[in-house]
Structure 1
Amino acid sequence: MRPTQKQPEADPVAHLVAWHDGDHRAAIETLMEDVRHLREQLALASAAMSAGYTRGWAPNEDRQ
């Protein structure tokens, strides 16, 4: 039986900050822009979906 090699877990926060050359403020601004965009997409999807399509379920931007 072969031993399994564990891959180190990637740190998404460190990757995001590194992508912005260590600028934490720029990283947060990018995340805030992504949140705004995704909320707009959720609003569009909510408007386009019928209650029958989702059997009464409706998307909600609030976290449970």
Structure 2
Amino acid sequence: MTQLALDIPEEETVTQSPAEVDLAVSVLNAAGGDPLVAIRSLLADADFLRDQLWIASNLMSKGISRGWKPKYERVS
């Protein structure tokens, strides 16, 4: 599976995207308009990021994080 490349102007990638950029539309456009490809790509990205968070949290000392523990799932 290839990584999606979103069509967000470069000057807007420094901080969060402004309201004018619809990230959902960007994801769909990057997936060629196929919603299943977009969903599969986002799920693969989320899985990769969870793995990276797990690795980082296991390598980081408790003193550096001052007791902070990551959450692996979004809390609503």
User: How high is the TM-score relative to the length of structure 1?
Assistant: 0.80
User: Which residue of structure 1 aligns with residue 23 of structure 2?
Assistant: 12
Please give the root-mean-square deviation of Cα atoms over the aligned residues, in Å. 1.7
**Rg larger for:** 1
The match for 1:62 among 66, 69, 73 is 73
Q: Which runs of 4+ in 1 moved over 4 A?
A: none
User: Which residue of structure 2 aligns with residue 30 of structure 1?
Assistant: 41
What is the identity percentage for the equivalent residue pairs of Structure 1 and Structure 2? 38
User: When the two structures are aligned, how many residues end up with a matched partner?
Assistant: 58
Q: Which stretch of the first structure deviates more once superposed, 36-45 or 51-60?
A: 51-60
5+ residue gaps, structure 2, are 1-17
Distance in 1 between residues matched to 2:19 and 2:65, nearest whole Å: 39
Q: How far 1:29 moved relative to its partner?
A: 0.3
User: Which residue of structure 1 aligns with residue 7 of structure 2?
Assistant: none
5+ residue gaps, structure 1, are 1-6
Q: How far 1:63 moved relative to its partner?
A: 2.3
Q: How far 1:57 moved relative to its partner?
A: 1.1
User: How high is the TM-score relative to the length of structure 2?
Assistant: 0.68
